[in-house]
């Protein structure tokens, strides 16, 4: 029997793949649906939400970025504010590895919440000793 995650943290890579209907989008939809069915919370760091917003604003428009962020909230994804403890943990990931700062915040949130981090971004391989990664 497989272990039921306590929660999922979604990173920027996952949300962009979902919103742009990339190959992993089908698996992302499946995991989100299963999470809702099993009442597993979904989280994103506001730093990652910020990354999603600016990518969409730059590539499409600010209106599309706003709409997409609203859609994420309607999907039940909870946006987590960052406090100093989480920021310091993100800084530890950054100091020890070659991860983007946004990815470090996602890893720090996953570690804090004891959640599985959902991603296809290989930068997280270096964090696997500290967090559980659900590879897409």
Evaluate whether residue 62 is within a structural domain: yes
Could you list the residue range(s) of the whole structural domain that residue 105 is in? Answer: 8-135
What average pLDDT is seen over the chain?
96
In a domain, 3, yes or no: no
CATH number of the domain within which 104 lies? 3.40.50.1010
CB atoms within 10 A of CB 3: 7
Q: What is the pLDDT of residues 46-86, one digit of tens each?
A: 999 999 999 999 999 999 999 999 999 999 999 999 999 99
The count of structural domains within the chain is: 1
Quick check: is 127 in a domain?
yes
Name every residue whose Cβ is closer than 8 Å to that of residue 65 and which is 6 or more positions away in sequence. 52, 53, 54, 55, 56, 57
Q: Is 2 part of a structural domain of the chain?
A: no
Confirm whether 1 is domain-assigned.
Answer: no
Among the listed residues 45, 28, 40, 41, the one whose alpha carbon sits nearest the alpha carbon of residue 2: 40
pLDDT band of residue 97 (cuts 50, 70, 90) is: confident
- 8-10 and 132-135 strand pairing: unpaired
Q: CA–CA separation, 61 vs 95, rounded Å?
A: 34
**Residue 13 belongs to some domain of the structure:** yes
pTM: 0.95
């Amino acid at each position: 029997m497989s272990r039921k995650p306590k929660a999922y943290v979604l990173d920027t890579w996952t949300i962009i793949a979902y919103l742009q209907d990339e190959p992993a989008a089908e698996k992302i939809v499946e995991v989100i649906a299963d999470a809702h069915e099993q009442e597993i919370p979904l989280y994103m760091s506001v730093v990652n939400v910020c990354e999603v917003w600016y990518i969409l604003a730059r590539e499409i428009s600010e209106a599309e970025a706003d709409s997409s962020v609203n859609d994420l909230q309607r999907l039940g994804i909870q946006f987590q504010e960052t406090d100093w403890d989480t920021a310091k943990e993100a800084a530890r990931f950054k100091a020890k590895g070659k991860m983007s700062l946004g990815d470090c915040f996602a890893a720090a949130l996953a570690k804090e919440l004891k959640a599985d981090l959902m991603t296809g971004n290989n930068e997280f391989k270096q964090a696997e000793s500290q967090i559980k990664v659900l590879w897409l």
